[in-house]
Amino acid sequence: MCVPNESARDGVQPVPDGVRLLVWNGKGEPPEGIDATEILLGAYMGGALAETTLAAMPRLRVIQLLSAGVEAWIPIVPKGVLLCNGRGVHGGSTAELAVAGILSLTRRLPHFLAEQSAARWSHEATDDMDGKRVLVLGAGDIGRRAAAALEVFDATVSYVGRSARDGVHGIDELPGLLPESDIVVVALPLTDATHRLLDATFLAALPDHAIVANIARGSIVDTDALLAELTAGRLRAFLDVTEPEPLPPDHPLWRAPGVIITPHVGGGTRGWERRAYRLVRQQIARYVAGEQLTNVVGTEY
């Protein structure tokens, strides 16, 4: 098995007898024995490796990632190799951040923080979640965790997936759903079909003062279209991801009204490594035992 750094090597141990751990991040000379690698662990937030690097592992059978998103790896996964993501590792923390951002906007916490800085006691009523209609784009681990939390506060939740199924609307149903949605939570994977899904037409269909919370990938949202809606004061947004990313210091999105921005920290909480390497150890054990792996991502993703 090949891991990207010493920290990962320490984290995945103990491994079953017969499993040899090699450390290589794809740069420089490959270590001796790399050609026998059957499992590759991708670095968290490290991007995909080059195809030439993967070619040095002719016996590769599994690529295990620590992130939920895998879009950078899909085009380069060799034929016959399973790609597994980190579903479940970051779901709770990312959903938690989405809910925190939504509640901050609903209860006007940025306003009250500014008032605190000015030492002003400015009592005023705010909105709450009771009766809010929440549309969650993505019915996976992150989306469902965020929905469950918001339902505790008496919000009504509907799901949209890439295809319709029991309890989940299809993307083609969005035109009828958006005008009735007070909050949209973006928890979809980035694919060709979801790239800039939230374009000017999508955003214009939302009611005034609706909130867009993007905890997925920045390019699922058309930044210019969202910026126009924010500048007009019609919509609000919580963004843990942006396009471009990192967001340049001079980008107007920083200064747009009604937006809270965090620098892609949804999954990067203290303790994520513990959850991640527990998953990796379980996957190694399954592989060695000849059992079916979890979190396998299809090529259609």
Cα separation, 229 vs 40, whole angstroms: 43
Neighbours of 140 (CB within 10 A): 17
Whether residues 104 and 250 fall in one domain? yes
Are residues 148 and 137 part of one domain?
A: yes
**Pick from 103, 74, 50: nearest CA to 236:** 103
198 DSSP assignment: B
Q: Say yes or no to pLDDT of 186 above 80.
A: yes
Q: What is the pLDDT of residue 107?
A: 98
Indicate if 138 and 217 belong to the same structural domain: yes
Residue with tokens 């491994």: 15
* Residue 271: per-residue pLDDT: 86
- Give the pair of three-digit tokens for residue 217: 């990938």
141 and 216 in a single domain? The answer is yes
Closest C-alpha among 300, 283, 301 to residue 61: 283
207-240 per-position pLDDT tens digit: 999 999 999 999 999 999 999 999 999 999 999 9
How many domains does one find in the chain? 2
> Percent of the chain at pLDDT above 70?
99
- 123 and 67 share one domain: no
pLDDT tens per residue, range 137-165: 999 999 999 999 999 999 999 999 988 99
**Is there a single domain that holds both residue 104 and residue 75?**
no
For residues 263-289, give the mean pLDDT.
94
Q: Which two tokens stand for residue 283?
A: 């996957």
22-77 pLDDT, tens per residue? 999 999 999 999 999 999 999 988 888 999 899 999 999 999 999 988 999 999 99
| Nearest partner of 106 among 142, 130, 123, judged by Cα | 130
pLDDT of residue 90: 92
Q: Would you put residue 119 in left (φ > 0), alpha (ψ -120 to 50) or beta?
A: left
Q: Are residues 117 and 144 in the same domain?
A: yes
How is residue 261 written in tokens?
């921005």
- Is 82 within 8 Å of 70 (Cβ atoms)? no
Per-residue pLDDT tens over the stretch 231-242: 999 999 999 999
Asked whether residue 192 carries a pLDDT value surpassing 80, the answer given is yes
- Average pLDDT over all residues of the chain: 95
Q: Are residues 196 and 277 in the same domain?
A: no
Contact call for residues 42 and 66 (beta carbons, < 8 A): yes
The pLDDT value recorded for residue 46 is 80
Task: Provide the whole-model pTM.
Answer: 0.90
DSSP 3-state of 112:
helix
Same domain (yes/no): 156, 191: yes
pLDDT in the model for residue 263: 97
Give yes or no for residue 299 having a pLDDT over 90.
no
Is the pLDDT at 301 greater than 60, yes or no? no
Over range 68-97, report the average pLDDT: 94
Q: Are residues 98 and 12 in the same domain?
A: no
For residues 30 and 23, what is the distance between their CA atoms, to the nearest angstrom?
A: 9
Domain that holds residue 144: 91-261
Q: Are residues 83 and 95 in the same domain?
A: no
Q: What letter would DSSP give residue 207?
A: P
- Angle ∠(154,157,162) on CA atoms, nearest 5: 165
Q: How far apart are CA 228 and CA 235, in angstroms?
A: 9
Which positions are annotated as active-site residues?
264
- Report in angstroms the alpha-carbon separations of 171 from 138, 186, 198: 10, 12, 11
Query: Which CB contacts under 8 angstroms, 24+ apart, belong to 101-107?
Result: 101/213, 101/238, 101/240, 101/260, 101/262, 102/129, 102/150, 102/183, 102/185, 102/211, 102/213, 102/238, 103/129, 104/238, 104/260, 105/211, 105/236, 105/238, 105/258, 105/260, 106/132, 106/211
Same domain for 140 and 74 = no
CATH number of the CATH domain containing 189: 3.40.50.720
